[in-house]
Amino acid sequence: MDPYKVLGLTLNQDGTISRSSPVPLSPAFPDGESLPDSTTTVSSKDVPLNPSHNTTVRLFLPNSLPHSKSLPLIIYFHGGGFVLFHAASAPFHASCVHLAASLPAIVASVDYRLAPEHRLPAAFDDARDALRWAQSAVASDPWVRDFADPTKFFLMGSSAGATICYHVALDLISSKLDLSPLHLSGLILNQPYFGGIERTASELTFANDKIIPLLANDLLWELALPVGSDRDHEYCNVVAKEAKDVKFLPPCLVRGHNGDPLFDRQNVFVEMLKRAGLTVVAKMGSPGHHGIELFNPEKATEMATDVKNFVYGGVEIGTPGTRPEHKL
């Protein structure tokens, strides 16, 4: 199996890659778009993030809302192994529309730089830019200013996007960066994308997985990690050397499916969070493959329900292991 062919990639002589993904891009809909079988509409718009890096944020706002600052603000990072896709890629656009309408919430999807043209930690740096954007948007962007509650601020990601959430949250804690009036209330980590040199049982069982077969997964990490690094690098294997600030993370929702090659790594990650004393809502083991919510409407609804229960439900902010007094 040629992993480049599986991923629709061609390696160029200068180290960049050409991508031939069949996934279309979706335009933003400032005037709103309807959800299937629903009267709810969601407006979306693209706003600049860091012009020097050509990064943007796609913002989603559910319509027909009272004019009050009551909605959670969710910064979202899409998946794609740090190499593929954009915030405008149709499946991720649709996922954010569904989340914004179902919760409801304001969702800000970050179009971060991709590897290998911009290897890690470029995506983490872009995530930090997104948090600073959110801080300023509380006062400057009319959608965020008029509808977002800055005390209900969450980071969410799917696959590699979940990995970005984890690393940028640790970076915020270690740097003591003050993003007031935003208060980081939780992390939503959907099928986080981790790796390591030693193979796990689920990786071997699903070596020929239709979404991320093992050799393609290896290639994504080879393209994303700093040059000369292996899969035990701290960006990839986060449990090999537990970060000292893990215990200060806010409550975490972690989701995983039992047909995902990364399922074993996700379970080990959950256990690491629990050992650190965090509040962890683990939704692990339901049937499905990696990224199934992008293809299966029932699984999309299942994810939205889990996220809604976490954001609006009974997670006690301020349990042992969190730092409610520190506004991130």
Give dist(CA 87, CA 91) in Å, integer: 9
Q: How large is the C-alpha radius of gyration of the chain? A: 19
Set 26, 158, 159, 185: catalytic member: 159
Q: Which residue in 263, 235, 272 sits closest to 283, CA to CA?
A: 263
**Is residue 159 annotated as part of the catalytic site, yes or no?**
yes
Set 109, 233, 290, 306: catalytic member: 290
Q: Cα angle at 124 between 196 and 156, to 5 degrees?
A: 85
In the chain, what is the straight-line distance between the N-terminal and C-terminal CA atoms, in Å?
A: 45
Beta-sheet pairing, 41-50 with 17-19: unpaired
| Plot region of 37 (φ>0 → left; ψ -120 to 50 → alpha; else → beta) | left
* Side chain identity, residue 299: K
Give dist(CA 214, CA 265) in Å, integer: 14
Please give the distance of CA 40 from its chain centroid, rounded to a whole number.
24
**Is residue 183 annotated as part of the catalytic site, yes or no?**
no
Q: Do residues 44 and 59 make contact, with C-beta atoms less than 8 angstroms apart?
A: yes
Set 171, 260, 264, 306: catalytic member: 260
Q: Which residue in 100, 101, 212 sits closest to 159, CA to CA?
A: 212
Beta-sheet pairing, 280-286 with 252-257: parallel
Residues with catalytic function:
159, 260, 290
